[in-house]
Structure 1
């Protein structure tokens, strides 16, 4: 069969794409940035597309030609600079259903449980709008509602589980007693495979039979990472509001933190399924983790995951302050250049370098600009080191170490570049 997968570069989508390709289907994967996926999975025909801009039926017509099935693995948690929930999860899907009226491919929608405390939030209202439109469309379809999905890789909530599990000495958790059902990402791929084969239709919840508390699930991940047991400290939700607010602000700048308010609202009541009978099996959390033994890279990931926002914000503060502080005393700051140029030129050069520092410190906070900002930080740092070494080598012996301090900044910038990608 000829199958189109939306969100094929994501955590679930990449596994579904690999499974359907292994089943012998011709798979086309859609993603915003498929360049790396094209290298990792060359058997798949990769297309670049942004669902938030595909909100009219004509945007889908060419993509749907000769398709037998469309699998929607795309989604977002919360509106922000990188995500438009209404466009991606609702408008684009309604346009897809309208365009699919004539070719009538099977539509598999990876959705979520849309009732409960978070049911009124845009994350679930847009999902529900798409689900209801699909159910009423008359198209052959499967709406699959998995619980918390675990796998060899991690993204979003599963990444946060690993990071919390690696916390030193103790495990500070909010909603520690909230019930959580899980399943393996391979279970989702199996369900999609069966739907494509014609075995599944309708609206199905998918979860393993066990219900764990969040504390128990984090404990399982800690054991999986090879760390000794640690005491759980249950935190009152109000204590985490500053963190949630910061995560929401980061979302507006394009960062997709699992600590945003939508995720916290969902976790306040837990992640449960409706237990509809589907005839599908699902793998427990312990069995999922046991099937994928951890390596040292998983421990590094867990530790670095929570350090990453601190590294980015620390670099931002360093560059902003290095640019703003000299502006308070331009005359003094420009003295380094006076032996080599006139006073007016020295002042102008000082102002220029200050503005460059401030621009880089601000740009690194914006997710679409972060990589270019980090590369700019490296280039400017090396220029400062080279210029200082040539023009005023005595600065290396300065007690305040203005050149020496650039070196750890360079290392921190390299660390940020190495951990920047999310998938």
Structure 2
């Protein structure tokens, strides 16, 4: 095995689905690892022995930007990526421009070894921006003077789950049956540990230099078979896979793309469906021809990470998450709008309990405005946490004020006050499941 223990390695996207496993593997190999990403607070907690750099790759678009970052490194691993353009992601910057810049910086700094995590299906002529920009980044790497390795994994399966692998878990846990768009499309998976193994060998210099290789299990299987395997892994009874009409997928993609503009990174976006439509398959022989390490089939990958109750909780809650946020938004928006429309009637209730007409009207209008504000803000990912905290605070204020000024409302036969308690609980649930990774 490697003669290269003790290298200084920079991992771009070091806390992502693939990057985090690479960081852990390189640490176990004895390397000094530095991770880079936009928000490294959680990464610092999980991997305190790793040096972390907080930086947005999409802002580092010139070699000069990268020179201070790569200084002193022996190797660079690029595990950064995004699925689709959005408020937080610019594909051309992340996949092409930044890669071109960091490669140039490595050449200038004398760093010879570079490992690029690409994607099955990357093609400079692709209509989809994800595959096109990924291929353009690969071209920049391949055109360099570095000792590069380009790895193209299939569908990566990891103990962590967000994006497409989270969706697989959620669909597999669907009650009664398993819905699937394009259920027959072929897929080849790869264990994230096998991706990390390939990176480890590339960093160590035990793979042939300047080579592109697919990382996929030997045999392709249909999406329906993948979902059935995940359902069995979750410990749920077998259920029928129900192929869904293609227009369901198109509708979901339109909605998900809209949510993407609000900052939510749904794996149902059009880029993901485009990837599925073309099939997630590669050349399994390209790896076996250069390495004696056999890539695991899906069954072995799942067996190596047994599912416990938290996996079932996650899978069942994942599809409920947009429903929870949608219901909360609708509840607060309608509450605020009705408050504005019926402000006189609402103010009369407060006046009947001893408040002055002007003060009562002011409270109703202010409360309605606050309701609408948090109902709208919770739909925007950047404001969602603050909006949920606002919902909790406003509800507690309503309940406290009503108890002091209008305690008889607790006995209202329509349960106006009592019904605020489930809304409070739903906001707490939304806050608990807000994090994406």
Give me the TM-score of the superposition, normalised by structure 2.
0.94
Task: Return 182-191 or 373-382, whichever deviates more.
Answer: 373-382
Q: Give the number of equivalent residue pairs.
A: 423
Does the alignment pair 1:37 with 2:43?
yes
Aligned residues of 2:335 and 2:371 also touching (Cα < 8 A): yes
- In the alignment, the residues of structure 2 paired with residue 22 and residue 316 of structure 1 have an alpha-carbon distance, to the nearest angstrom, of 46
Which residue is equivalent to 2:62?
56
Which residue is equivalent to 2:4?
none
Residues 249-268 of structure 1 aligned to structure 2 (within 5 Å): 249-268=258-277
Which of 331, 354, 363 is the equivalent residue of 2:368?
354
Residues 144 and 76 of structure 1: CA distance in aligned 2, closer, same or farther (over 3 Å): same
CA offset digits 1:322-364 (Å, max 9, x no partner): 1111111221122233244432332222211111111111111
- In the alignment, the residues of structure 2 paired with residue 34 and residue 354 of structure 1 have an alpha-carbon distance, to the nearest angstrom, of 38
Which residue is equivalent to 2:391?
377
CA offset digits 1:206-230 (Å, max 9, x no partner): 1110211100010001111111111
Which residue is equivalent to 2:151?
144
Secondary structure (helix, strand or coil) at the match of 1:112 reads: coil
- In the alignment, the residues of structure 2 paired with residue 297 and residue 61 of structure 1 have an alpha-carbon distance, to the nearest angstrom, of 43
Which residue is equivalent to 1:322?
335
Does the alignment pair 1:170 with 2:170?
no
- In the alignment, the residues of structure 1 paired with residue 73 and residue 354 of structure 2 have an alpha-carbon distance, to the nearest angstrom, of 68
Secondary structure (helix, strand or coil) at the match of 1:60 reads: helix
Does the alignment pair 1:107 with 2:114?
yes
Does the alignment pair 1:363 with 2:386?
no
- In the alignment, the residues of structure 1 paired with residue 76 and residue 397 of structure 2 have an alpha-carbon distance, to the nearest angstrom, of 51
Which of 285, 290, 309 is the equivalent residue of 2:322?
309
Shift of 1:58: 2.2
CA offset digits 1:9-31 (Å, max 9, x no partner): 11111110011011111111112
Which residue is equivalent to 1:16?
22
Which residue is equivalent to 2:226?
217
Secondary structure (helix, strand or coil) at the match of 1:107 reads: strand
Residues 194-273 of structure 1 aligned to structure 2 (within 5 Å): 194-200=201-207, 201=209, 202-273=211-282
Which of 405, 409, 419 is the equivalent residue of 2:423?
409
Aligned residues of 1:117 and 1:265 also touching (Cα < 8 A): no
Secondary structure (helix, strand or coil) at the match of 2:242 reads: strand
Which of 279, 283, 301 is the equivalent residue of 1:274?
283
- In the alignment, the residues of structure 2 paired with residue 318 and residue 216 of structure 1 have an alpha-carbon distance, to the nearest angstrom, of 39
CA offset digits 1:109-167 (Å, max 9, x no partner): 11112357993111111111111111112222111100001022222111111111111
Q: Which runs of 5+ in 2 are unaligned?
A: 1-6
Task: Return 335-344 or 208-217, whichever deviates more.
Answer: 335-344
- In the alignment, the residues of structure 1 paired with residue 108 and residue 248 of structure 2 have an alpha-carbon distance, to the nearest angstrom, of 53
- In the alignment, the residues of structure 2 paired with residue 312 and residue 117 of structure 1 have an alpha-carbon distance, to the nearest angstrom, of 38
Q: Which runs of 5+ in 1 are unaligned?
A: none
Which residue is equivalent to 1:335?
348
Residues 234 and 94 of structure 1: CA distance in aligned 2, closer, same or farther (over 3 Å): same
Two-structure CA RMSD over aligned residues (Å): 1.6
Shift of 1:291: 1.0
Which residue is equivalent to 1:123?
130
Aligned residues of 2:124 and 2:132 also touching (Cα < 8 A): no
